[in-house]
A and B are shown apart, each in its own frame.
Chain A
Amino acid sequence: MTQVKEKERKLTIARAMAEAIAQEMRIDDKVFVMGEDIGELGGVFGNTRGLHEEFGGERVRDTPISETAFIGAAVGAASDGMKPVVELMFVDFFGVCFDAIYNMMAKNTYFSGGNVTVPMVLMTSTGGGYSDGGQHSQCVHATFAHLPGMKVVAPSNAYDAKGMMIAAIRDPNPVVFMFHKALQGMGWLGTEKEAIVHVPEAAYEVELGKAVVTRPGTDVTIVGITSGVHFGLKAARILEEQGVSAEVVDLRSLAPLDRDTVIESVKKTGRLIVVDEDYHSYGMTAEIIASVVEAGVPLKAAPQRVAYPDIPIPFARPMEQWALPSPEKIIAAFNKMKED
């Protein structure tokens, strides 16, 4: 009976993240959480819910609205033996604190020849689709993944979210953990139901830097991350009705990037569509296509990308919905490949 219940236990990404952090805090008193509204409120996006109640304000620490100070402080605490999990509420806010992130968090290990480590997790929300305007809706995946010295991961479902959060906390390197707001399972942000999946109660790790084939197929490879995976899965179902077998690859990690899984998939299908809610130019979509082309994988058609246009994210709902990637845009990209 218990086992049946266990199998049925589905969690949102928000709950899965909170559970992962709580489980690590129970076994390791070096782990603590710091950020804006992560205490009694439980995080604006629910991913620290219950932690303050269980662990108190010393270890679940609301900060002033001072991202440079508390992310810089996390760097100092991590180098002094602690394992901070800090939250940058919206990734869009990186503009006020990026030096602490990319010049210190990401580089101090290298600058010290590996003698100083920075075992911290920077969790941050991404994504739009709910008309929050151009300073609260971005993904900026590539901006982070471009810079060396930090791992950058972004799960698309609750199972991966828990396992990757545990792996991130245990990692001796700094990890940026991006979570997409629309996948978070907070009703008020819109909820992607397919992100709410079975999550085992016991702690487990999902290895960072490993992509996964979410849906096997033979005719075209659709590569995505976070929301892009769900757009891809929806497109794959529509394509199936048209007799096309699409394989969907969830990157899960942007750095390190699992090029091998993508290349193996495209070797099989010969067609590649990359989906990303981040901006079109100089982004993850270009990196994936370049990696496949560099590997010399024989292609049946020119690869396509479905990404955010190179514009600030507009507010008006018709404008924003028009600009976002979608299953329809993926189908259109596939149809364009057929013409080649």
Chain B
Amino acid sequence: MKPSQEQQVWMYKHMLVSRFFEEVIEKIYMEGKSPAFNMANGPIPGEMHLSNGQEPCAVGVCAHLTAEDVVTSTHRPHHVAIAKGVDLKAMAAEIFGKKTGLSGGRGGHMHIFDANVNFSCSGIIGQSVGPAVGAALSRVMQKKSGIAVAYLGEGAANQGAFHEALNMAGVWKLPVIFIIEDNSWGISVSKRASTAIDRNSDRAVAYGMPGEFIAGNDPVAIFDVVGEAIARARNGGGPTLIEIETSRLAGHFMGDGETYRPAGEKEALQKIDPIPVMKQRLLDEGILTDATDAALVEEAHAAVDAAIQFARDSEYAAPEEAMQKVFV
């Protein structure tokens, strides 16, 4: 399944928005945190997990989805949220902890929920899968259209939740796709050191579903393979497990010294940064010109800048509002 030119431009643009968003967040995150790094300081306190390099996993999948489809994501959720159409201003404000944020500042960067586009995430490794299976079950039982997609990292494939949920999805043949973003690192422990097999996609056979491994961190290749799986799920053909080889261009979180990385790894990954690679291909294929690229870049920056400005300008909720919304 090949993406149209329009779909390729959509993917490229959303990769740009995601990357620019992370670059601005990275900069603002460090405000107030030097010379001594203290996570509690600055306009964006707490942990920050950036998605630089993993954008293809977001756009290659979400290009097939609409707002009605359900996506559950992880502690590293920004790129997927952006590709799924989460309100960028409200997400930025949430990351700043402001009243205008998606939950008024109660969640933060690891707890992004946007009911309008059926997006949610959990900060606990491996816990994105159960709710996605349940959403898929809900669609079948309600005879409602739409499928569910669970994102997880390659480290999460060693959690019990992953195996339980995939088995249940396999038994019930549910319309759910499991997307493993294999950035080869679980914080500081490599996939090789933590996982008994090379490819988690091979585990699909244990759960009676197809398994696919996609090499190259290439949005077009991802679009192709995922498209087949999603079409199958929409037509009642059941779940699929897909592992995508991607790259974590940042640390696990901001402040990570990354001393565990082999010398030269990061430089090598930066050379195959998926965004310039995609840009060059679109230029080579005549889908993009320097002028249209410049326009897309400007548009992406404008969207990010507007969101960040909105977040900065927004007020904090009164502290005692923390007592609200525990129950409805």
Contact = CB atoms under 8 A, between A and B. Distances in A.
Given A80-B70, A117-B328, A111 B111 contact: yes
A310 B107 CA distance: 36
B127 interface: yes
A248 B104 CA distance: 43
B259 interface: no
A296 interface: no
A82 B326 contact: no
Contacts of B144: 81
Contact of B168 (A32, A73, A104, A113): A73
Contact of A69 (B118, B135, B167): B167
Nearest to A84: B134
Contacts of A32: 141
B133 A110 contact: no
B137 A73 contact: yes
**Interface SS of chain B: helix, strand, loop or mixed?**
mixed
Interface stretch (B34-42, B57-65, B157-165, B188-196): B157-165
B133 A64 contact: no
Interface in A54-111: 58-59, 63-64, 66-82, 84, 96, 99-100, 103-104, 107-111
Contact of A100 (B104, B130, B139, B324): B130
Nearest to A172: B328
Interface string B158-190: 001100110110010000000000000000000
Interface string B137-149: 1110110100010
A interface bracket (residues with beta carbon within 8 Å of B): 35 or more
A185 interface: no
A129 interface: no
B168 A69 contact: yes
Nearest to A114: B325
B327 A173 contact: yes
A3 interface: no
Interface of A: 30, 32, 58-59, 63-64, 66-82, 84, 96, 99-100, 103-104, 107-117, 148-149, 151, 172-173
5 contacts: A69-B130, A69-B165, A72-B133, A111-B111, A113-B106
Given A73-B133, A103-B127, A149-B326, 12 more contacts: A69-B167, A70-B168, A72-B134, A76-B136, A77-B141, A80-B134, A84-B134, A104-B130, A110-B103, A111-B103, A113-B102, A115-B103
Interface of B: 70, 72, 101-104, 106-107, 111, 113-115, 118, 120, 122, 124, 127, 129-139, 141-142, 144, 148, 160-161, 164-165, 167-168, 171, 324-328
